[in-house]
Copies of this chain bind each other. A is one copy, B any other.
């Protein structure tokens, strides 16, 4: 029996994981047409990125250009791209410097690659900011401890906890100064806003297409600068078309065809990034004005991923029969989903891709919940 999931047409989905990965009608048609396993391999040319029909060879060139890098390959997602870079660059217990706002998969990828992690701390409550200059301090610490620079530095361009945008160019400059290869995790930026890896002085850019390019998963991009080609895309001795770090072919399914369909839309949507920020800022301002609600992370926000501390809602929850679950249910009644059931002290949401009308409806829902519950408890 088939499984049915309520999609965004009928519900507003606030889950930050998902707002940038929603597919449009064109992409869904491609997905339906390429639904069978190995569907993109009808006209295999020996390796995924050389396939001409569908035109994955053009896609990878387009992606390299779109990300401002020299060469790109499809991956199975962002974490798989990160691991590929780490696996290619890190020696046993080699030092890698990462920001402390990094995704858990960055940490796990370092563990798998058997590297040694050094973290750049954020500034703590309430902004939890990663300041580029802090990379310098950690580089110095590594130099002192190991007598050599780190083997790799990773920056989470926008993190998944606070939606903080970091000045990647400033981090890139410090990396250049110390001769440290620079890996930019653009999971929450590429596909939403313009990301030009070279302008940001990145050696590697990794991307999650199912998170940021409006396609089904799992698929990502690893884009690199020329000088790393031999190292990252080293070929099998016996199979000279096959990239060892990619095990030959990565996203060998319908998602690759979907990305071809999605890319023109993505190129267009990044031009409208300012509107997305406007919506997010408007929403934050209105929510804070409800009282006893505070946006965490840098202010005003520069991203659609919003983290709110919500004592207001937590107090209501204490008095509600459903306790912490009241908020989830109240939102659900209003056709809104994507906030974790049980959360009321704080939560994350994303306004990405919502129309102004939807953002206003969303705020209205919280206003109603506040008022409705207040009147019920007076």
Contacts and interface: CB of A to CB of B under 8 A. Distances in A.
A30 B37 CA distance: 14
Given A18-B37, A38-B217, A216-B37, A108 B210 contact: no
B107 A238 contact: yes
Interface in A60-83: 76-77, 79-80, 83
Interface stretch (A166-174, A239-247, A314-322, A370-378): A239-247
A239 B36 CA distance: 35
A236 to B, nearest CB: 5
Given A236-B108, A238-B107, A17 B38 contact: yes
A27 to B, nearest CB: 7
A36 B108 CA distance: 25
Contacts of A255: 218, 253
A196 interface: no
B3 A23 contact: no
Contact of A1 (B26, B34, B76): B26
A104 interface: yes
A248 B43 CA distance: 33
A1 B112 contact: no
A25 B17 CA distance: 28
Nearest to A27: B2
Contact of A31 (B32, B112, B218, B237): B32
A281 interface: no
B3 A35 contact: no
Contacts of A30: 2-4
Given A105-B247, A257-B5, A36 B22 contact: yes
A37 B211 contact: yes
B37 A252 contact: no
B210 A247 contact: no
The 4 closest A-B pairs by CB, nearest first: A21-B37, A37-B210, A217-B253, A2-B29
9 contacts: A2-B25, A3-B54, A8-B36, A18-B36, A18-B37, A21-B36, A21-B38, A34-B216, A76-B76
Given A17-B38, A218-B252, 17 more contacts: A2-B27, A3-B34, A5-B54, A18-B36, A21-B37, A23-B36, A27-B35, A31-B31, A37-B214, A83-B247, A104-B239, A105-B247, A107-B236, A108-B236, A108-B248, A111-B236, A112-B244
